[in-house]
């Protein structure tokens, strides 16, 4: 992939050097070529008409695991040395990150162990097992599973692949930004689902380096928006976790956050919060108007535009980050059921 570098901004013009560079993202893109999908950026006629500017959708739902997380996990694993690869990988995620680590490890012939609590539903366990990972059931909470990850990294020599707060993971997610600018050089606004900030942080590094005048906006759910609360507080803070339709956006950013907080604080122009009803409307819009099955986390961009929560003032890209939603829940929502 060749990208013309914009001359008027280098990331180093920020006060402190940021933990991920455009160069790291370009290297990730070279590493990922042929190993993850270069996803299409498709025009939404419906939204373009609605807002009066071209609106394009970046379809990360088309990655082999149904979400963008494959980019970061694959880049982080490919960046490991032979010895660490041979010893194997471990993570505690049962969601899209767990799928990504399992899939990438299987493709690369590396052992991956996914630790999970006994409360994880059987269908989620089987989905990860089917991708080739070893399952380790420990305790009765996500914290118990995370403790097992730490034990296996210390005593078992396994390498933990974190879901967002890791420079190689962020660089992998940032390759989406390179692709969007390449396909849409007149980009004015980009809307990005935001949880731990690996996706938004990585894309922001690429977009702000190549197109400094573009607006980069993170979108979270109102219920438990940890990065929003942290940026407001000026330091990583924890928030109460609540159930949400955007389940892939749940969880904290880590009080000892090293990478993504700094990126989001420095580079995001705004963080917008959407309600559960607005997320449901986003999922419905995706199904009825765009022909897409999108999970709650992947629908927050639609939600924000439909609710008028972002002012659109030029060509806009929406990152549609994932499509892994329980089919029964999806049906209830698109049939108009309550959130
Ligand atoms: C993980 C995830 C996000 C959020 O990514 P972060 O890097 O944690 O901000 C958004 N959408 C989907 C579908 C995800 O799986």
What's the pLDDT tens digit per position in 23-47?
A: 999 999 999 999 999 999 999 999 9
The answer to pTM > 0.85 is: yes
Residues 6+ apart with CB under 8 A from 72: 100, 164, 166, 168, 169, 170, 171, 172, 173, 198, 202
Which regions in the chain score pLDDT beneath 70? 1-16, 337-339
Q: What pLDDT does residue 339 have? A: 52
Indicate the SS3 state at residue 325. coil
Degrees, nearest 5: CA angle 211-70-220:
60
Pick from 251, 142, 244: nearest CA to 196? 251
CA 273 to centroid of ligand 1, rounded, Å: 15
Q: What pLDDT does residue 11 have? A: 44
- Strands of 154-287 (E only): list them: 159-160, 189-193, 215-221, 270-274
Q: What pLDDT does residue 16 have? A: 67
CA 248 to centroid of ligand 1, rounded, Å: 6
CA distance 90 to 105: 10
**Percent residues over pLDDT 90 in the chain:** 88
Ligand 1 atom closest to residue 193's alpha carbon, by position in its atom list: 10
Q: What pLDDT does residue 142 have? A: 86
Q: What pLDDT does residue 338 have? A: 56
Q: Is 248 in the pocket of ligand 1 (CB under 6 A)?
A: yes
Q: What pLDDT does residue 96 have? A: 95
Measuring CA to CA, how many Å separate 56 from each of 3, 59, 108, 195, 223? Answer: 20, 9, 33, 22, 27
Active-site residue flag, 321? yes
């Amino acid at each position: 992939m060749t990208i013309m570098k914009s001359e008027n901004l280098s990331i180093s013009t920020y006060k402190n050097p940021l933990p991920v560079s455009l160069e790291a993202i370009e290297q990730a893109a070279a590493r990922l070529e042929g190993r993850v999908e270069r996803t299409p950026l498709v025009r939404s006629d419906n939204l373009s008409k609605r807002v009066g500017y071209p609106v394009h959708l970046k379809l990360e739902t088309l990655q082999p695991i149904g979400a963008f997380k494959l980019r970061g996990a694959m880049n982080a694993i490919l960046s490991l040395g032979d010895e660490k690869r041979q010893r194997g990988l471990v993570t505690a995620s049962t969601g899209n990150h767990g799928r990504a680590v399992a899939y990438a490890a299987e493709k690369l012939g590396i052992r991956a162990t996914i630790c999970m609590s006994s409360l994880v539903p059987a269908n989620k366990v089987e989905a990860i097992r089917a991708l080739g990972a070893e399952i380790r059931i420990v305790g009765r909470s996500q914290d118990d599973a995370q403790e097992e990850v730490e034990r296996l990294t210390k005593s078992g020599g396994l390498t933990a692949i974190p879901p967002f707060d890791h420079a190689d993971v962020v660089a992998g997610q940032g390759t989406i930004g390179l692709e969007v600018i390449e396909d849409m050089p007149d980009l004015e606004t980009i809307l990005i689902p935001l949880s731990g900030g690996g996706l938004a942080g990585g894309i922001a590094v690429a977009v702000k380096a190549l197109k400094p005048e573009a607006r980069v906006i993170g979108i979270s759910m109102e219920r438990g928006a940890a990065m929003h609360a942290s940026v407001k507080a000026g330091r990583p803070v924890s928030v109460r976790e609540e159930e949400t339709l955007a389940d892939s956006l749940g969880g904290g950013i880590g009080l000892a956050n090293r990478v993504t907080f700094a990126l989001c604080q420095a580079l995001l122009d705004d963080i917008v919060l959407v309600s559960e009803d607005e997320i449901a409307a986003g999922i419905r819009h995706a199904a009825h108007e765009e022909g897409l099955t999108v999970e709650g986390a992947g629908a927050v961009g639609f939600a924000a535009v439909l609710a008028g929560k972002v002012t659109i003032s030029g060509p806009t890209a929406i990152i549609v980050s994932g499509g892994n939603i329980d089919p029964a829940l999806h049906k209830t929502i698109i049939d108009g059921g309550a959130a």
